[in-house]
Structure 1
């Protein structure tokens, strides 16, 4: 279901005009906490220079609980400039920010990038990131290459772990969540079933630890499919009608974690150990209708992917001399994905034989980052930060060898990086922050990443930020080394790929208004421009034998231009958000197709409403996002490129969270209230026929959920 675009536009404009016409701007020297800018608080004590550089949006713990968020995918969708890109075939969901996909967005846990199938911190499957022990999620918008290295072109998503309790003692938390998948639900067999357990012990004022476990069982989305045990038998023969299996593949995820926080006064140590396991089933819709011993014995060749990930992070921070601070992080991460291909006996409902059982992907990551901040603490006009970053990734993807076997091709990429950010306080209103990062890679030439940031405070509440700098992205493992060639496939990476580079510009103007005693408005306007040279894109060419080859190459350029207006209106127990983004994209491929417009444009709108009923300890919330039509470059049935469109759609969630007792709370809600399942993409525009249109799955229908949470506290403080 898609809401009328004109209606939505009028609604948003009317809403904004009403608020502006009602406001009365009042000069007030008192800071309003609800409008205060949030920075990367897990690092704010040692990264004071970064506070002024970027626009930061925060998803707080209460926001996560209001929508019963279990994974990162559950909570990111309502961010104005973020899009979620689900893939029904492999169950993965990645993010795009400002129209740039997950390769340009770095995802961190407590400032440390996460290992993924083909990189470090980028193109992460956000359904694999559990939020049970998360305090908040902070989304930093803007090219952050100087602070976070390559591939932080569009921004950074930093997931911050909750540390300890307010008082000494124990806290036990149990949660049970049942959720339908569309209109499908059965205990254990259909729907989504989640169980969480966490225990925290604040031993004393200095030491705390927590242990937690979560199970997320997604039974798949059947839609028109009929499950793994379905077979169509007519007149004693199997009829392949393509209905076996599921539309979205089922998967089960288990996450366990151990967190230890030690406060030593001037120094702090934090250790995180996490284990993740995912079991993904892929059912073949094609059935082999064979006979054995005079009996029909239908089978199917199914697949299973099992992923195991270990994360071990250690962070130390504190004071060196006076106000000079240090921060050191060390991390070892390991991920292996096992591939199994097996013959499933449909009538007997059991595995008949295993054809392949091998490790299909492996990554080992050693990572370290350290920096010293506020090096000249007594200076009122000059300061700077120095640091290093080291990353070593070794691994393989067995499909890159053309088969699943022990004969794999291992590759290693090692980065050594030094960075510095300087702060010049020109006067009380104006500051300049130049920054540089030197990166040496075992795969590519040495490179210098740079940025220049500036802030100007017109008043205490009216502030202008501007950031101009490098837009640098290095190719990942898959783009470099992928190789899969047989009679039906000719897909290869390109080891000669070069990193992308270019320039990014982000400008943010924000203001805060106090309309009256109980009414506040925070409004912000952003404009951004990203110009990537040697942009990496999927291309179609010929191999050495004249066959059609699908590979990657550096095209001439890729550009993004956009404008964002975001507002937050607070009145007593009401909190209303309203925003819009107008985004244009262009690249060299567009030009080669004689595109009539320099940019292909798209409009996104979002609004959120929260109402707190204090008397009942209840919060009612709703989030609506309109994703407008987008234009892009697609392949037609003959492999030719053309400019087409992807349909607009609207996504609406709603929920009610109530604290029934001080220990027991419940959350009841619905996701995808407008029942969006798929949209048309690649619709022909002009010369090509409508046969180029395909359907893209983006949701699994209107889903209802109920979550029960039980908290039990044992306070051991002695009075």
Structure 2
């Protein structure tokens, strides 16, 4: 479909589709009536008086109702509905990461209740968003713009904060929540095998108005996407001869996730305490497409086996948040966390005809991280001044561990390392007039690997009217190398893959502008329109390189060799009028990337055009909401394999559409059904960008979806006194 046809279809869908986009629609009325709801959220650096995040940055909110409308189970299910966010899946590993304003997951910080989340590759960045369960989530805060001063390194594109539910609404003492969700994967489904099967349970008890707790568990069983492959028990034997046709296994690897949690909320005087304990387990199974055909000496028949693998992630999270008044209107916020993550690797011989495991080749701990984290800040330090205020804080991180697996094989030569950060930061609030304010800020960071660094920013706001406002953020484009880039180690007779402990942080310039206005339409309607512009100039970008080691073997490592520039403009509109809700947004973005180590680098801008439309309709008498969302994603830059290493390439454009209907059967029972990926996207072409004499016309396909899928979710809430 041509770009013009894509745009036409998108605009038409705004009138014929039905969807409620939470972030752009339902939060409008809340913002116009009571902005204080966000101001009271201390977990993202908000204070009741200073409210830095809300003042300086564009903040979007996705709440429980918004998640329920689309039957979102994990963060990947919901984030793709944002105009400036794209979810990038990897079929081989099962991971899905965030791309925000053209920057990948290394530049987006993901927090749980204000605390960075541990991952396979570091802390807070490059998170697999399919591992974040939403059944215990009150809301998702999406803060746009470079936020390194407030939230530390690698918060260049923005911050996504997942806020846990706390306490019960109303006068209830007990609440029991149950839900079951069945979903096809493309056209594939069976009750206990193919498809996606989700179960959730949560029990909450509000002991009194100062003490409450909850416990719960969730299971997400994804059977993989076959897509013409034949599964783990497929084998082609003809005339007692094994035919290796490459059809064994699945296109997308199956995985099973288990999440268990316990939360405790307490109030002691004017001080609030929240503790979260969470356990997460994920198993990803990889089926070998190559089958070995051995003859059984006793029968003379072929005995086919395959060398399969299991990657298992175990994570324990212990988070504690304490907040309250320090003196008068001066507030404090303290965060403490201990997280323990391990990834295990198993390789085993699977007997296909007997459908069982014959023996284990490897059963090893391949990655381990133990993370100690603490952050604290004091807000509204000068409460009596109308023209001057300040926020000061610290942040400490200590990560110890190792990563010793690559290319599906294990190295016994494990090297454990430690990475520490000591940060101090501050932001001033200078109100020059009742309309114009400036917020200079700086963070001094001391890292055990690359020493002292300075992250800085200068932000400003100008209020033309109470509803017409301009926000500007100008600062450094700072990203620190993660644990994997510094310390990855996999060396044996056939491999030499190592991190580079001498890496330096990326840096450069970032600019973010947000101009927004709100208009009343009728007595209850509200129209919101925002124009955004952003620019990132990243120097010394970290990339994979190939050099020679002391024995003249190929050494795969990392180096500061690249640069990247991104320039973008977006226009977002949303309206709520009686029972109707609608949204229309567009982004025009250019990316320029250079790889000094590759002769096929291309430093020209690749421009892409993205459109998102939403439309929804509510039927109060039926207690029903109909909804649909459509998103057109234009061409994007991507690194693709070349003859002498990675080269800059591009993925083609594609259009994604979802639709759903949610209704209340009784006051306690809700049902949601719908369809995802209505246009049946599975693969998107990825090809090299021509660059002079070294142009390449090679192309490949990149997996993006599971095909058109359908889901049904039943939710039951029982409230008791």
2:349 to 315, 322, 343: 343
- The match for 1:6 is 4
Q: For residues 9 and 513 of structure 2, what CA distance do their matches in structure 1 show?
A: 27
- The match for 1:658 is 663
Q: For residues 406 and 540 of structure 1, what CA distance do their matches in structure 2 show?
A: 23
Q: For residues 110 and 90 of structure 2, what CA distance do their matches in structure 1 show?
A: 19
Q: For residues 620 and 448 of structure 2, what CA distance do their matches in structure 1 show?
A: 58
Deviations 1:594-625 (A, max 9, x none): 87874121111111122111110011111111
Give the drift of 1:547: 4.6
Determine if the alignment matches structure 1 residue 649 to structure 2 residue 647: no
User: Alignment partner of 1:203: what SS?
Assistant: strand
Q: Specify whether residues 393 and 336 from structure 1 end up closer, same or farther in structure 2 by C-alpha distance, changes over 3 A only.
A: same
User: Given that residues 14 and 615 in structure 2 are in contact (C-alpha distance below 8 angstroms), is that contact kept between their aligned partners in structure 1?
Assistant: no
Deviations 1:245-299 (A, max 9, x none): 1111111100011011112241100000000011111110110000122232110
- The match for 2:686 is 681
Q: Specify whether residues 221 and 421 from structure 1 end up closer, same or farther in structure 2 by C-alpha distance, changes over 3 A only.
A: same
1:203 to 198, 202, 207: 207
Mind listing any 5+ residue stretches in structure 2 that lack a counterpart?
16-27
User: Alignment partner of 1:695: what SS?
Assistant: strand
2:185 to 177, 181, 185: 181
Give the drift of 1:516: 2.3
User: Given that residues 413 and 491 in structure 2 are in contact (C-alpha distance below 8 angstroms), is that contact kept between their aligned partners in structure 1?
Assistant: no
- The match for 1:42 is 41
User: Given that residues 411 and 492 in structure 2 are in contact (C-alpha distance below 8 angstroms), is that contact kept between their aligned partners in structure 1?
Assistant: no
Aligned length: 699
Q: For residues 597 and 558 of structure 1, what CA distance do their matches in structure 2 show?
A: 9
- The match for 2:221 is 217
- The match for 2:543 is 537
Within 5 A, what are the aligned runs for 1:137-216?
Answer: 137-166=140-169, 167-216=171-220
Q: For residues 363 and 491 of structure 2, what CA distance do their matches in structure 1 show?
A: 20
Q: Specify whether residues 321 and 689 from structure 1 end up closer, same or farther in structure 2 by C-alpha distance, changes over 3 A only.
A: closer
- The match for 2:237 is 233
Give the drift of 1:45: 3.6
1:672 to 674, 677, 684: 677
Q: For residues 390 and 485 of structure 1, what CA distance do their matches in structure 2 show?
A: 32
- The match for 1:563 is 569
Deviations 1:422-465 (A, max 9, x none): 10111110111111111011111201111111100001111000
Q: For residues 698 and 441 of structure 2, what CA distance do their matches in structure 1 show?
A: 47
Give the drift of 1:59: 1.1
1:282 to 286, 290, 300: 286
More deviation in 261-270 or 152-161? 261-270
More deviation in 314-323 or 540-549? 540-549
Deviations 1:171-204 (A, max 9, x none): 1010000000000001111100000000111111
Deviations 1:618-669 (A, max 9, x none): 1111111111122445333x23665543111111111001011100000001
Q: For residues 409 and 669 of structure 1, what CA distance do their matches in structure 2 show?
A: 49
Mind listing any 5+ residue stretches in structure 1 that lack a counterpart?
18-30
Within 5 A, what are the aligned runs for 1:435-474?
Answer: 435-474=441-480
Within 5 A, what are the aligned runs for 1:415-430?
Answer: 415-430=421-436
User: Alignment partner of 1:298: what SS?
Assistant: strand
More deviation in 602-611 or 346-355? 602-611
- The match for 2:623 is 617
User: Given that residues 42 and 160 in structure 1 are in contact (C-alpha distance below 8 angstroms), is that contact kept between their aligned partners in structure 2?
Assistant: no
Q: Specify whether residues 538 and 592 from structure 1 end up closer, same or farther in structure 2 by C-alpha distance, changes over 3 A only.
A: closer
User: Given that residues 684 and 692 in structure 1 are in contact (C-alpha distance below 8 angstroms), is that contact kept between their aligned partners in structure 2?
Assistant: no
Q: For residues 66 and 290 of structure 1, what CA distance do their matches in structure 2 show?
A: 53
- The match for 2:117 is 114
More deviation in 538-547 or 422-431? 538-547
User: Alignment partner of 1:588: what SS?
Assistant: strand
- The match for 1:254 is 258
Deviations 1:572-608 (A, max 9, x none): 1111111111111113338986878741211111111
User: Alignment partner of 2:659: what SS?
Assistant: strand
- The match for 2:89 is 86
User: Given that residues 558 and 588 in structure 1 are in contact (C-alpha distance below 8 angstroms), is that contact kept between their aligned partners in structure 2?
Assistant: yes
Q: For residues 596 and 668 of structure 1, what CA distance do their matches in structure 2 show?
A: 45
